[in-house]
Chain A
């Protein structure tokens, strides 16, 4: 006894069951964000109700039939102060709460694992330190803080995972970071939310949150090529970085072992904490980051290294926690021609490292 066509009925059922009204809460941040959301909704409903109550009540009570002559009232300082101060207090609560949430979302814990994301028109390139490369998808373990280092190689993009309630603009020329801690395994939307050109709406992907065991399994079978640090090592050698940054007694450049996280004194006397962004910028704009005690002789690598190559270098330098690694690099590169572009025969000596910009 269908009142409407069975086909249409089927369609409606399908349509209405596939009907989202609230996004999944899949990260540790999501409940905090939702709590503020519901508080804001509460304030809005109360505010809207207050205004509606006033307007409707007065409209009924003081309509012309009941109230033929208006009583002129100047105003009331007391009342006006009330409806200045009460909203002000409520808005201040929203401000403080929002600020706390903001710092919670944008302050990564120190033990977060780092994944690099490069945005370009119109895809997301994800680089895991272990050498897993993904396009338009991001595999992450749950119950583990994950920090993303984001950069764009062309226009503004924005990296958004609604289920985690996080978002960060992906900007050309500078690293931005965002972190989350997924709680529920599943597949979630990944959107580019900053308009980035023709196929903006195709710049989407999926975030696959997996249990740590599944993630280990996935990571083990998804390695393509070598790890980022290894790529970086090759690039470091092929660009000739080690001719100065070799930690030898007569080295022209600062020793890079354990430099990550260190406080360096710059030429202008300021102290700088070395982080990803600092390393990247120093490779590209060395003159703007001259370390005290060294001659400003470092050339720029602007235009010679792609964003992925920079990530490899940064990742390599980050992991240079001991002298041993540098010596290894020097040994490795001893026989290397410094010039890029020539393909060597040796298996352990790839000169055209994957990160260099091909001419």
Chain B
């Protein structure tokens, strides 16, 4: 790594005069940019916007469920609200969250490249995202859509009177945004690595994005064609899924879940990458069993393609396929368990500090463990019969996706905030936010496991009165959770102007991205770096610091 320019001392850090943020000015320089870092920022802003729209919908859902009858929202409105919550959160927040923002910003830097392989396609993918988002906003303004995010046929094709076509096409477009992001990542990781950056020197963040990208590239087109068929069925009335014309609605379920199960790995794998980086950094120690963690990502991606029918155990698939899919579901749980234990073991004999990203990572470990283990409940065929389609599913999904992915996302945003903006977030209030989020989360979603075992079905606007106490707990927790998510929005915005200057490497981290200025130059590196050390080599960092002559910027 000798080619990297010596960086100024941390204590006297100043914002660099030239960076990707101020190289060019004006709206046009942002909207027509090819720079992966600027596109990441565009994504960050738009994703945050949609997150709060989806969050507002979640708030409405929890308010409605405060009382048993559907009094605040009529059943019809409630259905539209939870559909909007699902579509926005899944397709416009969770799928692009870490990859399109943090991944977009960091993957080229981590592999030592100046940009992603196809900058224009990267920009195109943001525009597709915006088009999809606008179409979803349109459906909300024009009267909503009430299919649920799963678009189940024949309900979506023949029995609803809402904007199903717009919503379906929006998800189609969002799918292509995701395909292009994944494609860009795979090509970049294969072809754009700096000299010396071998596969096993890549940070685990890159490995997990690689695995997620495979799923994006191979899974999303199946969803796309499925939605095309749904739209064709709704518009001109072809009969691929329509039982009255000889089609089979179960085929829709197969095709839909062929994407939508891998989609949850698209959502969680990048988050796992963030956790690897954060835990390694704040325990000053290389990740325990690098290869195991790297390959477990790939294993999750591969197995993830062959478990989709576990969403259909009660639908009447054959006993043999149920057996096979249940078995594979159990197998896909193993790599996740390996990861959890490897992260825990990374702490062993470390030198641990507890900054905000680390707190979020601990939150991730706890919540993802619960989410993963309750997944075993659902993969176990006989148990699934009672639990599926109830609040148990809702709780499980949110533990993995919100407790796992959102925690990881916030860990990542805090961890790389100094790199992205050049300024630190305020440590005290952000720790508070991390704790509030964790507590609020448990309070919101843990009661839903109990509700699920009681049998409370999901997507109910009204429910029997004996479920009320647990629902009140859940709604109370949601308000705490809401505060937990508002806080980062406020203090991170505040820190853009008033945050402490971060300097190049505030965490003393080993990643390539920390060896360049913050915020980085448009070209990332002044010269192409030559990589001579492995990822998470803290001894290398120490030796480098020892030989470094501090220069004042």
Contacts and interface: CB of A to CB of B under 8 A. Distances in A.
A156 B152 contact: yes
A5 to B, nearest CB: 18
Contact of B314 (A21, A168, A189, A202): A168
Interface in B326-366: 326-327, 330-331, 333-334, 337-338, 340-342, 344-345, 347-354, 362, 365-366
Interface stretch (A35-43, A126-134, A315-323, A348-356): A35-43
A296 to B, nearest CB: 17
Given A95-B379, A99-B381, A48 B350 contact: no
Contact of B154 (A67, A88, A100, A172): A172
A199 B160 CA distance: 12
Given A70-B283, A167-B314, A197-B155, A51 B365 contact: yes
A192 B369 CA distance: 30
Contact of B538 (A70, A84, A103, A160): A70
Interface in B217-244: 243-244
Interface in A29-50: 32-33, 36-37, 40, 43-44, 47-48
A52 B454 contact: no
Interface stretch (A74-82, A227-235, A266-274, A328-336): A74-82
Interface stretch (A55-63, A139-147, A246-254, A339-347): A55-63
B389 A193 contact: yes
Contacts of B365: 51, 55
Contact of A83 (B337, B377, B389, B465): B337
Nearest to B386: A165
Contact of A62 (B159, B283, B374): B283
B436 interface: no
Interface string A86-108: 01100110110111111111100
Contacts of A123: none
A88 B334 contact: yes
B374 A44 contact: yes
Contacts of B350: 58, 62, 67, 70
A88 B328 CA distance: 11
B398 interface: no
Nearest to B333: A91
A337 interface: no
Interface stretch (A12-20, A111-119, A210-218, A255-263): A12-20
A221 interface: no
A173 B390 CA distance: 24
A154 B152 contact: no
B366 A72 contact: no
B305 to A, nearest CB: 19
A169 B382 contact: no
Nearest to B457: A193
Given A33-B386, A62-B350, A174-B316, A75 B369 contact: no
A37 B316 CA distance: 22
Interface size class for chain B?
Answer: 35 or more
A9 interface: no
Contact of B152 (A63, A83, A155): A155
Given A70-B351, A168-B316, A172-B243, A194 B384 contact: no
A72 B352 contact: no
Interface string B366-377: 100110011011
Interface string B261-304: 00000000000000000000001111011111000000000000
B542 to A, nearest CB: 9
Contacts of A75: 288-292, 342
B46 interface: no
Interface residues of A, number: 88
B155 A51 contact: no
Nearest to A85: B334
Contact of B338 (A21, A84, A198): A84
A43 B376 contact: yes
A79 to B, nearest CB: 7
Contacts of A99: 323, 326, 381-382
B536 to A, nearest CB: 9
A102 B387 CA distance: 12
B316 A18 contact: no
A68 B283 CA distance: 10
B289 A92 contact: no
Contacts of A168: 314, 316, 385
A137 interface: no
Interface stretch (B180-188, B420-428, B466-474): B466-474
B366 A48 contact: yes
B216 interface: no
Given A91-B334, A91-B376, A73 B285 contact: yes
A130 B358 CA distance: 66
Contact of A95 (B154, B373, B380): B380
Given A64-B353, A121-B159, A198 B79 contact: yes
Given A162-B386, A172-B154, A201-B461, A98 B379 contact: yes
Interface of A: 15-16, 18-23, 32-33, 36-37, 40, 43-44, 47-48, 51-52, 54-55, 58-59, 62-64, 67-76, 79-80, 83-84, 87-88, 91-92, 94-95, 97-106, 121, 154-156, 158, 160, 162-163, 165-169, 171-174, 176, 189, 191-202, 204
19 contacts: A15-B469, A32-B382, A33-B382, A44-B370, A54-B345, A54-B348, A55-B347, A58-B348, A73-B349, A76-B288, A79-B345, A91-B330, A101-B380, A103-B382, A158-B314, A165-B386, A168-B316, A171-B315, A200-B79
